[in-house]
Amino acid sequence: MKRFFTTLAVAAIISTTAVAQTFTLKSNELGGQLTNKQYANAMGFTGENKSPQLSWENAPKGTESFAVTIYDMDAPSGSGFWHWVVFNIPANVHELKSGAGDATKNLIPEGAIQSNTDMGAPGFVGAAPPVGPAHGYLITVYALSKKLELDKNAGPAFVGFNMHFLTLSKASLIVYGKK
């Protein structure tokens, strides 16, 4: 009987350890809703147009770089709306600070590239959902097996296509925003 409980305890520890080591994305700024920082300062919004603070942990073995995207799944475009695309984040970096998406301030890690959003320019573009139901914003970090051989002029769909073949794992948050 003692052996049974010892085996059960070891199994519990192993399974808890396995769960605790999953690739995880977090934000100190975001809960379930966007804050005023992440809204645009346009189209009837008075937001700060700042990308959120993001951090991740427990990347899989073999990760050579990371990419981060923010995508409005509910934009009335027929194809959603890409608010931020940043890739070639070095493998030793595990956080993007609040406001790192401002392409003019050079706050992203050295070597990382912010490519074009659906606004046609690199950097973060704040949320501006039209009146109606809340929009879901999918924030994803990708662990990649190598760096992407693309530049800042690459469009979001093309970056996504290239990431597809190099993704070892990904972790996401969904936050909501509404006018």
Domain positions in the chain: 23-177
Round to whole Å and give the CA distance between 124 and 49.
Answer: 7
Find how far residue 59's CA is from the centre of its chain: 14
23-177 homologous superfamily: PEBP-like (3.90.280.10)
Across 77-99, b (16+ Cβ under 10 Å) vs e yields eeebbbbbbbbbbeeebeebebb
Give phi and psi for 65, each to the nearest 5.
Answer: -165, 170
pLDDT score, position 103:
87
- Secondary structure string (H, E, C) spanning 95-127: EECCCCCCCCCCCCCCCCEECECCCCCECCCCE
Distance separating alpha carbons of residues 145 and 67, to the nearest angstrom:
11
Confidence at residue 158, expressed as pLDDT on a 0 to 100 scale: 97
Residue 4: predicted pLDDT: 43
Q: Which residue has the tokens 């399974």?
A: 15
CB neighbour list of residue 143: distance below 8 Å, 6 or more residues apart: 23, 59, 60, 63, 66, 167, 168, 169, 170
Closest-CA residue to 161 (of 75, 87, 101): 87
Q: How does pLDDT run along the chain (179 residues), one tens digit per residue? A: 555 444 444 444 444 444 558 999 999 999 999 999 999 999 899 999 999 999 999 999 999 999 999 999 999 998 999 999 999 999 999 999 999 999 899 899 999 999 999 999 999 999 999 999 999 999 999 999 999 999 999 999 999 999 999 999 999 999 999 99
